[in-house]
Every structure is written in C-alpha cells, then in structure tokens.
Amino acid sequence: MVNSSKPAADYDDPSFNYKKYWQERQYEHFSEELVLKKFFNLIPKKESLIDIGGGFGRLTPFYTPLFKKCVLVDPSKRLLKAAKKLTKKYPNLKTIKGAALKLPFKNNLFDVALMVRTVHHLASPDDAFKEANRVLKTNGYFILEFANKLHFKAIIRAVFTLNFYYFTDHTPVEKSEEIVFFNLHPTAIISLLRKNGFQIVKAVSVSNFRSTFLKKILPLKMLLFLENITQTIFPAYTSGPSVFILAQKT
Ligand SMILES: C[S@@+](CC[C@H](N)C(=O)[O-])C[C@H]1O[C@@H](n2cnc3c(N)ncnc32)[C@H](O)[C@@H]1O
C-alpha cells in the first residue's frame, strides 16, 4: 500500500482528452507495440486475454487478432464508451466496467492479463497483482508495465546530488501534484510480483528515447529502429522511463 493524499486519477473528467494525449505520442505507442510483440511471441497459448485498465482500447487493434477472446476492463465510463465502439470492428472483444482491485470474473479464467500504464495510478499494487493472479489460469502470463523510478535521468540526478539513498529507497515517487501517479522502484515491483505467485520471465526497458529534443530531431522510423535495439541491450530496470515485465503464474 502506498500513501497519497491525492484523489484517484479521473479519466471521466471532460477537461482531459486521453485519446488526444496519445495522438502526440506515436513513438511511445509503437515502442510499446514492439515489446508486446516480443512478449506475445514467448506465449504459447493465446486463447483469452484480459486488459486491466485498458482505457479507450489503444492496444486492442494489436492484441485482438492474436487471441480468441479479449476483455477490456476499466472504471472510466467515458473511456469504456470509446472502447465499446471497437467491439464492432473486433467481435472477439468485450468491454466491462470494473477495477483492478476487484475484477468481475471468477478464478483461473484467462491465459494472459495485461496491465499497461495503470499500476502507477493504484494505491495498492500488491492487491492488484493478487487479483491478476486470481483470474489467470495456472501458468498464465501477466504483462505489466510500470513507470520506473530508476530511469536514466533520475539516476543522473541522484548521482549529481549525492543522493545515493535514492537507489535503495523503495518509496514510490509522486509524479503529479493533482492525482495519484507514482514512479515505482523495480525491486519493490519484482518482490510484490513474487509475493503474489509470479515468476519473472523477462523484463524490458521501453520508450528509451522519450525526450522532446530527440523526438524533434530524429524521424520516427529512426527512433523506433534504435528503440528496438535498445530494448534488447539496455538493462531493463535502470534505463528507460517505462518497464515492461513478462511474469508467469506459478
Ligand atoms: C494511463 S491510462 C492507460 C490506459 C491503457 N492501459 C493504455 O495504455 O492506453 C490509465 C487507465 O487506468 C484506468 N484506471 C484507473 N484506476 C483504475 C483501477 N483502480 N482499476 C483499473 N483501471 C484503473 C483509467 O481509467 C485509465 O483507463
């Protein structure tokens, strides 16, 4: 459980256009598709997938062709309404209102659970991992993305300010003045995953070139070429702003 006095992220707030947010982040979006492709190639059985906190369905065009049944769960009415529109195009997709801490499904149902850019909004990642484990079949896979406390810029900052405690301190870093939004320590996330019955299969550093300057001077194709290489060679937990973990229910 992490302490925050801030209110939960409200994706129903009409002043925030989450779809527009992604229109300006093609590099990050395609970087995520690159790592998901790598992870899906390692998963032998692709019957059913649950996308926890799936939002407006940004990743549905990518995963629906790979799975027989997909369910997108999200607490936001507004985002779910947008996601529901996609069910016409992808008949194997269902959308359901729900939250990560109490998924509206019985035990041992899904082959894969996906949670991208959602755990940073949760006050209790521990309970969310427990719930993901509950709905997964034995040997099912959990694909988790989290905002990384030990990203490159934060490491440089910590070194230059002689704040070496930063590296071992598992306390999440609050990223927003207004809402619950945490950068999380990789070691804390790994131990919570293990505690909740997962083994780590693979971890990858993602969006390694998330920089306004680099995005301005380099064409998208070049950035994605470099991203693809660095996803393989950069250390997973001490490079990029975003970490993707492929974990398996034991
Ligand atoms: C940054 S968006 C990510 C959406 C989607 N996964 C993506 O990557 O495009 C965060 C999402 O988490 C959802 N969310 C917030 N609190 C949640 C909770 N307690 N359980 C599940 N989802 C939650 C929001 O409604 C929103 O759709």
Q: Show me where the domains of the chain are located.
A: 18-249
Residue 173: is its pLDDT beyond 90?
yes
Using CB distances shorter than 6 Å, the residues near ligand 1 are 8-9, 11, 52-55, 58, 74-76, 79, 99-101, 116-118, 121-122
> Quick one: pLDDT band at residue 231, thresholds 50, 70, 90?
very high
**Where would I find the H helices in 90-241?**
125-135, 152-160, 165-168, 186-195, 212-217, 220-233
Topology, domain 18-249: Rossmann fold (3.40.50)
Residue with tokens 């991208």: 116
d(CA 80, CA 189): 28
Residue 128: is its pLDDT beyond 60?
yes
What is the CB neighbour count within 10 angstroms for residue 140? 25
Pocket test for ligand 1, best of 118, 175, 206, 244 (most atoms within 8 A of CB): 118
178 phi and psi angles, rounded to 5 deg: -105, -35
d(CA 29, CA 236): 18
Q: How many residues does the chain have?
A: 250
d(CA 177, CA 165): 23
Structure tokens given for 105: 């499904």
> Quick one: pLDDT band at residue 23, thresholds 50, 70, 90?
confident
Residue 1: is its pLDDT beyond 60?
no
Structure tokens given for 115: 């949670």
d(CA 197, CA 248): 8
pLDDT confidence of residue 96? 98
Pocket test for ligand 1, best of 74, 115, 120 (most atoms within 8 A of CB): 74
Contact 179, 6 (CB under 8 A): yes
138 phi and psi angles, rounded to 5 deg: -60, 135
What is the CB neighbour count within 10 angstroms for residue 138? 9
Q: Ligand 1 centroid vs 115 CA: distance in angstroms?
A: 8
